[in-house]
Amino acid sequence: MTDAPVPGLPPVSPGTDVPLGPLTTLGLGGAAERVVVVEDDDTLITALAEADAAGRPTLLLAGGSNLVIGDGPIAGDTIVLRTTGTTDRSDDEDHVLRTVAAGEPWDAVVAASVAHGLSGLECLSGIPGTTGATPIQNVGAYGQEVADAIVAVRVHDRDTGETRDWDAAECGFAYRTSVFKGHGRYVVLSVTFRLQRTEQAQPLRYGELARAVEQADGPATTALVRREVLRLRRGKGMVIDPDDPDTRSAGSFFTNPIVAAADLDRFRARVAERLGPDVVAPEYPQPDGRAKTSAAWLIERAGFARGHARPGAALSSKHTLALTNRGGATRDLLALAHEVADGVEQAFGVALRPEPVFVGDAVWDPRG
């Protein structure tokens, strides 16, 4: 395999004892025993099969934007995904089915959809990583999720050797998860999106973005929405910028908690007890009677301000949901994460759950 760079992704060469930190947005992680770079699906499937047959552990790494890699060595094969390619076919006169290789940088995919007069991904602008990671996490932002646009995911099953297209229902999409998350059995090869032929943005569901677009000049086009999303994300340190230390993160570290219906009164009482009887936490009702609340709101009101730091790690100075590398190690970042999660649980009785995937000796212990 060549080591020709893919625009938007860090350069990488195959080899042994390769540091993985430079291949992640956090910039943290030990060295891989062996790195293999793959540029097409057949080579990827062969590399996985050979590693599985030899009993070697595998780590599939693409954009490295949602990974927390431990400080110790990473055994086995780290397979770096650099597959590319996009194809279109017509669905009907109003929609295009766009199939994108798993290794394509995600923001370039969103930018291309806007440039080509296609609507359905614009609110997901500025999210780092690659296309293949988006269905795994059911990536979402500003009221939009990739599940809203996905019609099929091409999947390789490592147990059976079968490769086929899964429809959206088979993917089990839910809030920031899918059947793929946490399971190495299924490997995403490409994703097919159904996009509308229009420069008009999809209806805006997120108040902050809707207000920003309303205050801007002109109609709510996909281009305008993309511009405003990027502006909002930059203000929160959520667009990768080598000159901004707040972007040395894995994005939002914690998911927004969902409180069970039976626990809502207890949660509201804890909020009132700590913050006063007139304070109401954000609640977003779910169809099953539960309510989603805001992790950032809880973190801040548990006493953790933006920029709160420990040696080697800190909360972003722009957004309390992002934990940033400040020259330390993965263990420093995890110590900060546990401090924050423990503080929120003690204050409000709500357990925060991490969003990134943990690799090697990086382990999330909910007990701290």
Residues 225 and 341 in one domain: no
Residues 177 and 263 in one domain: no
Of the residues 119, 178, 252, 316, only one is catalytic, namely: 252
Query: Please, is 52 exposed, middle or buried when counting C-beta atoms within 10 Å of its C-beta (0-12, 13-18, 19+)?
Result: middle
Query: Please, is 197 exposed, middle or buried when counting C-beta atoms within 10 Å of its C-beta (0-12, 13-18, 19+)?
Result: middle
| Tens of pLDDT, residues 80-117 | 999 999 999 999 999 999 999 999 999 999 999 999 99
Could you give the C-alpha distances from 66 to 23, 245, 297, in angstroms and in order?
11, 17, 22
Q: Is 93 a catalytic residue?
A: no
Could you give the C-alpha distances from 123 to 101, 144, 283, 296, in angstroms and in order?
20, 6, 22, 20
- The verdict on residue 136 lying in a domain is yes
Q: Which domain holds residue 58?
A: 15-81
Residues 169 and 111 in one domain: yes
**Is residue 256 a contact partner of residue 294, using CB atoms and an 8 Å limit?**
yes
The domain spanning residue 200 has which CATH number? Answer: 3.30.465.10
- The verdict on residue 365 lying in a domain is no
- The verdict on residue 9 lying in a domain is no
Residues 284 and 199 in one domain: no
Residues 99 and 213 in one domain: yes
Q: Is 125 a catalytic residue?
A: no
Q: Can you tell me the distance from the alpha carbon of 213 to that of 12, in angstroms, rounded to the nearest whole number?
A: 39
Residues 211 and 338 in one domain: no
> What is the chain's length?
368
On whether the pTM is more than 0.85, the answer is yes
Of the residues 104, 122, 145, 355, only one is catalytic, namely: 355
Dihedral over alpha carbons 224, 228, 234, 235 (to 10 degrees): 160
pLDDT at 4 over 70: no
- Three-state secondary structure call for residue 86: strand
Residues 71 and 107 in one domain: no
**Is residue 322 a contact partner of residue 236, using CB atoms and an 8 Å limit?**
yes
What would the DSSP string read from start to end of 35-79?
A: EEEE-SHHHHHHHHHHHHHHT--EEEESS-SSEEE-SS-EEEEEE
- The verdict on residue 294 lying in a domain is yes
Residues 77 and 94 in one domain: no
- The verdict on residue 10 lying in a domain is no
The domain spanning residue 334 has which CATH number? Answer: 3.90.78.10
| Tens of pLDDT, residues 282-316 | 999 999 999 999 999 999 999 999 999 999 999 99
Of the residues 34, 158, 170, 176, only one is catalytic, namely: 176
Q: Is 119 a catalytic residue?
A: no
Work out the mean pLDDT of the chain and round it to a whole number.
Answer: 95
Q: How many domains does the chain have?
A: 3
The domain spanning residue 19 has which CATH number? Answer: 3.30.43.10
Split at pLDDT 50, 70, 90, the class of 1 is very low
Q: What is the pLDDT of residue 5?
A: 64
